[in-house]
Amino acid sequence: MPHPIRAAHVAVSWLTVFPVPQPRIAMDRIAGGAAISATPVVGMLLGILCAAIAFGLDHTDLPTALIGVLLVTVLAIATRGMHLDGLADTADGLGCYGPPERVAEVMRSGTVGPFGVATLVAVMLVQALGFGALTDQHRWYDLVFVVALGRLGAVIGARRGLPPAHPTGFGALVANTQRVSIAVWATLAALGAFATGFFSGTTAFDTHVAIQSLVVVVVVLGITWGFTKHCARRAGGVTGDSLGAAIELGTAIAVVGLLL
């Protein structure tokens, strides 16, 4: 098993366009499992980037809704759009009729149908408006938190018991590899949610905000758990597309939950 720092290095080089040296490691299931376990670290880095950009743009005359759109654009560029592509492909696959073979074929077709487009637009719109609202309220910590929390969906989707849908590809490298990492990251997510009480804008710890954030963590974990299980059942196993879809869906749910 690669060292945690090496796993984070692989995850960053694999899942972002950040200019880091390519890791000198064989990309097998061991490396893939280690990298996917470090996906929330990538989320933290992306969240910090978004918060920094939002903080800077907040000092301009740009509308907060436009700032939210720019943040979603930055995330798409920084991740090569792979998660958004996975969301669209997964939506098309789940929206078709037929056995798992047919669903997998639609998801791997490379084209985006109307269901995929509608889902993509809806999720991106929710994220953009949500990020804009957090910016308007100067909730920089929450921006980092929701982006990192959304990445936990990939770890959950690669859990033990869900086999890969195909013998090759991204899903084959990471499916059925996660167990302890889920508990670790769920605990860290709960601690991160508790910390939102210190960043609520008041001088004292805000218990209500902390409890709300903890509920959001539970909801995101529960929905992404059920969503990835459903995707695996429909497609005959885990795919890279379904993991990307879980990330985008989890992020959208998290930002809505924090704004309620």
pLDDT of residue 248: 98
Written as tens digits, the pLDDT of the chain (260 aa) is: 567 788 888 899 989 999 888 777 777 888 889 899 999 999 999 999 999 999 999 999 999 999 999 999 999 999 999 999 999 999 999 988 888 888 888 888 778 888 999 999 999 999 999 999 999 999 999 999 999 999 999 999 999 999 999 888 888 899 999 999 999 999 999 999 999 999 877 778 999 999 999 999 999 999 999 999 999 999 999 999 999 999 999 999 999 999 99
Residues 6+ apart with CB under 8 A from 57: 67, 70, 135
Are 174 and 32 within 8 A, CB to CB?
yes
> Cα 236–240–244 angle (5° rounding)?
120
111: phi then psi, degrees, rounded to nearest 5: -105, 155
pLDDT of residue 170: 87
pLDDT of residue 82: 94
Fill in the DSSP letter of residue 177. Answer: -
Residues 6+ apart with CB under 8 A from 200: 206, 209
pLDDT of residue 18: 93
Q: What are the DSSP calls for 131-144, one per residue?
A: HHHHHHTT-HHHHH
pLDDT of residue 107: 87
Half-sphere exposure of 259 (CA within 13 A, CB side): 21
pLDDT of residue 2: 65
Residues 6+ apart with CB under 8 A from 126: 252, 255, 256
Is 0.75 topped by the overall pTM? Answer: yes
Quote the tokens at residue 68.
Answer: 């939210």
